[in-house]
Amino acid sequence: MQLYNTLSAKERAELIAQAGQERLTLSFYAYAKINAPRAFRNQLFLAWNPLEVLGRIYVAHEGINAQLSVPAEHFQDLKTHLDSIPFLEDVRINIAIEHDNFAFLKLKVKVRDKIVADGLDDDTFDVTNKGIHVDAEAFNSLMEDPNTILVDMRNHYESEIGHFKNAITPNVDTFRESLDIIEEDLKDHKEDKNLVMYCTGGIRCEKASAYYKHKGFKNVFQLEGGIIHYVRQVEADQMENKFIGKNFVFDQRRSERISDDVIAHCHQCGQPADTHVNCANDACHLLFIQCEDCQQKMENCCSSTCMEVNQLPKDEQKDMRKGQGNSNDIFKKGRAEHLSYKKDLRNIFENFQK
């Protein structure tokens, strides 16, 4: 009984190319009590592997968080399987704006303590007492309300390339960091303002909305289905799109183009750019924004040091990496000190008028 991948990413990529099938990129989540997450994880792998599902799926006692791709011809079979699971019946499936057959190259179903690393003690508050879910039309109306505070619940490298107009974008590296920062900075407006939140697909806002209600915020709203579902709605109903730039995604695509605006800058020269790349030096692999000119000049590397290493024979590079982990810069995502142009670390609420 096969419960894990047997093919490498390279082998899988070759099979995808040979198959020539259109693949759909999807995501969904659900908070639900799962008593035996390991058994549930195995059940999913056995059901999805024959359907050629690929992706990154987290399972925990609190539910499931899934980002995946599936051949278009197998989508209905996947949907039928999801509907056979009581807490996933009719679950909202976010379909990507832009598809890439190589968005995922393995099926990874992992058991985790939580489906999102929020750092919260769920026993201290009612996680089911969530904020009001609003669709794109209601969300646009709330954005125009002078009593609304719009908060981006994503990390700095996500909002740097795209966000909603007039949104507060916390300059944080992780979701858990933003929770207390937002609560502290908005503590004087728990009753007189609308706290409206959004994220990529909705999962972070789901937990955050319950947390902020527990902290005393009276009017808490969250964008149903996140940015992905919002874009689908505004296109279908021909509404005004208030999102500018790109939507960061956590797969090989790295982003989806939502509007033509380029609001970020190359981390090396400062020119307008919004394409995230990983440093070509495998010992670094830093995620940062690089323009086309710098890609050519720096040979897809983040620094002259990495460029020198990357020019060495592959065997020599491999020997240099023996016994070494990735550089700590890999976790800085555009904030490494050697990058000459970095996002201004201004106070995240400086533009908010009380």
List residues with catalytic annotation.
199
Q: Is the CB of residue 272 less than 8 Å from the CB of residue 264? A: yes
Rounded CA-CA distance 263/235 in Å is 22
Beta-bridge partner residues of 246: 257
Q: Which two tokens stand for residue 252?
A: 């090989």
Strand ordering across the sheet containing 243-248: 162-164, 243-248, 255-257
* Token pair 């704006």: residue: 97
How many CA atoms lie less than 13 Å away from 132 in the CB half-sphere? 14
* Cα–Cα separations (whole angstroms), residue 120 to 117, 169, 179, 199, 204: 8, 21, 9, 18, 12
C-alpha dihedral sign at 17, 22, 24, 25: positive
- Give Cα 267 to chain centroid, integer Å: 21
141-168: burial string, b at 16+ Cβ within 10 Å, e else = ebbeeeebbbbbbbbbbbbbbbbbeebb
Residue 205 CA from chain centroid, whole number:
12
Distance between CA atoms of 169 and 160, rounded to whole angstroms?
8
Q: State the helix-helix crossing angle for 37-48 and 75-83, rounded to 10 degrees.
A: 150
